[in-house]
A and B are shown apart, each in its own frame.
Chain A
């Protein structure tokens, strides 16, 4: 299976995240899974004329593209011309190249939240009219339209995340190479379910603080980040606290909120990113599938049951009280 990777309105961070994969050298992993890198803007030898010739062959069908990976949002502006990103070396806007190659590719993969939904580039006034390949925020559509399907019947596969975990990208590509990725393996937003069916909350090391609603009040506190500091881990679809980042990391382990970066529209949450919005003291964003009345009742109950150890440690940047040691035999 060959793979063509193009970048547009993004930061290149998906590629950099990908290079940090921890299961051996990425290039050998790809080869071992049967994936041949046709061209990647940051990694391939071929540049300028050679690269343009290759892209032209891909666009007119002389070179068959099995998988087209797009990193970065698609810039439709100004006024629908796509002029905010012309692919270097020619007059055509990048969106034209993407449309042409996507129409012929075996599969189309959006790598990262920009090419999935628009992402950060679509924030604020969205000056470049940025969108994703098949979504414009939460709305189906995007550059390729809601009805786009690849020859196998799959929609655009959205390996969302800002950035995505390196394994999400490699695992998705390997599944395509093995022919094992089917429509039922994608969730409602076209995200591979192997990571999107999990919540960031799963495996969060602050779980005991969450249970007792022992909340961090400021940066560097050890308590739960949901009540005050904007954390959306209980609603965000990703396995970040089970499949860790850069060794033993995740946003929550780094001491800051999950901003739900795998979801469309995360770039405009409607409140300060690291402050939890509330109505009458109750966070607006409740844990996924949790009835509000139960949440309120349980939160009140667990707060009143919070052990002093948990309450004190929650407001500290280091352990003040260790769990007590029980002796069962004397």
Chain B
């Protein structure tokens, strides 16, 4: 006999999250993920001047604020037909990378690791050390990381004025020209952050971490002296077998990000056991199980709509169900690195598929991959060369902005009519990962990852469910916006 259990509020997920579990024979037979908050940004944006989107959209999300700005700036640049000068492009990369790396750090230390300090794990050989290190608010790690994170976020003071919610990221580049002494201060900030990562997070040089090319060499690396919080996590992951927990769809998508002269640092693409081309035109949003009214058929976001309804049969979330050619995809740091072809990322999903451990390791791997790129971009800035170009926007135009936020693929689709925003649709990373079912009944990525996990109708929720949910680094305020 199946029992239905509603669990929430999930905390440490950035926003509000509720999950309904059908439980039978001590297992989750079906999960229904609900984003219980609707704010209506797509409705708010209608009728606004296109440039005003840059004030509104970062405020969709306080943790992916710059990613929202960057997607909007790209969509507007597409609509304007402009391309930023080199300094502007590099500043955009640096600003987005600062946010993405800070988010990875925040997720690991503040959102994800505290679950291993839970009392349910008392008795595990690593528990006492984990309580000391990672316990929420009082552990040594959060209290060591917050000042280091704040120091790193001083990148934003110089690059973007402040964080979150900047207006420095513009379609034509950056509003913030930097002089050589400011670039030197940014350089010192990056070097300090590198030292923090190498001593505290990895107990190893970033190059060494970036060069790990398989599960086996990751295990060998863990066995070497050096300490660091990644090794602590790998010990826990091994003990709890987090490598075989939380498998989703194993279809990975990345829009690609960090434009360099010839290519992007991480390319766009799709991976389903093998590389496949990413067809953006094949994206559709299904609202069968979401509280929205529409003509019925799934819609491409360029012509999509967002019309909330209070009551709707079969609906259980404010989140729409985006699908790529009708299929569920997973997005995030793991997907990005699998698509980019990092050998460790590919190897991690080669056996079991995506797992809690693989998602977390991919995020930390990105810290080691992106910081050296930031150091390179900073060195390429040329004070005195232009930072921003401006161009008038046509009265009738449209544009698309595709970017990678820390937690995955973020897309903005804008249509301008008579000089005003006629339609603005947004698909955020967690909209993909935490989507409800679609018209064919196909569950979203998290819904798939939760099915089959042990659970009880009456006992406290097992920590494994917390791990799976948080392994996606969900951002619920972006999900529905």
Contact = CB atoms under 8 A, between A and B. Distances in A.
Partners in one complex: yes
Interface of A: 7-17, 19-22, 24-28, 37, 41-52, 75, 78-79, 81, 83-90, 120-121, 123-128, 130, 162-163, 218-220, 222, 244-257, 259, 272-274, 317-319
Contacts of B310: 78-79, 81, 83
Given A163-B62, A254-B160, A24 B168 contact: no
Contacts of B16: 7, 41, 85, 87-88
26 contacts: A7-B15, A11-B477, A13-B164, A16-B164, A19-B110, A19-B150, A25-B142, A25-B144, A26-B146, A27-B137, A41-B9, A48-B7, A85-B37, A87-B9, A88-B10, A89-B8, A120-B56, A124-B48, A162-B59, A246-B155, A246-B163, A249-B161, A256-B175, A273-B51, A273-B167, A274-B51
B39 interface: yes
Nearest to A24: B147
B63 A12 contact: yes
Nearest to A246: B157
For the complex of A and B, 6 pairs with smallest distance between CB atoms: A254-B161, A13-B62, A88-B8, A249-B157, A247-B154, A89-B8
Nearest to A17: B164
Q: Is the interface of A mostly helix, strand, loop or mixed?
A: loop
Contacts of A20: 149-150, 153, 163
A127 B44 contact: yes
Contacts of A11: 59-62, 65, 164, 477
Given A25-B146, A49-B461, A246-B163, A16 B177 contact: no
B37 A273 contact: no
Among B47, B60, B167, B179, max chain A CB count under 10 A is at B167
Interface in B181-224: 185, 189
A88 B34 CA distance: 8
A43 B137 contact: yes
Interface in B136-171: 136-138, 142-144, 146-147, 149-151, 153-168, 170
A48 B160 contact: no
A24 B56 CA distance: 31
B173 interface: yes
A26 B477 CA distance: 23
B151 to A, nearest CB: 8
A253 B14 CA distance: 29
B62 A255 contact: no
Given A19-B146, A248-B157, A273-B54, 12 more contacts: A8-B37, A9-B37, A25-B146, A27-B142, A89-B18, A120-B56, A124-B45, A246-B153, A249-B160, A253-B157, A253-B176, A255-B177
Contacts of B175: 219-220, 254-256
Contacts of A130: 39
A255 B10 contact: no
Contacts of B166: 251, 254, 256
Interface residues of B, number: 94
Contacts, number: 281
A17 B135 CA distance: 22
B388 A89 contact: no
Interface of B: 6-12, 14-18, 34, 36-40, 43-49, 51-52, 54-56, 59-63, 65, 106, 110-111, 114-115, 117-118, 135-138, 142-144, 146-147, 149-151, 153-168, 170, 172-177, 179, 185, 189, 308, 310, 318, 383-384, 386-388, 390, 460-461, 466, 477
B137 A219 contact: no
B146 A84 contact: no
A123 B160 contact: no
Contacts of A126: 44
Contact of A42 (B14, B48, B144): B14
Contacts of B173: 219-220
A15 B477 CA distance: 13
B43 A127 contact: yes
Given A46-B11, A47-B466, A219-B390, A125 B43 contact: yes
A324 B164 CA distance: 38
Contacts of B386: 220, 317
Contacts of B172: 219
Nearest to A266: B55
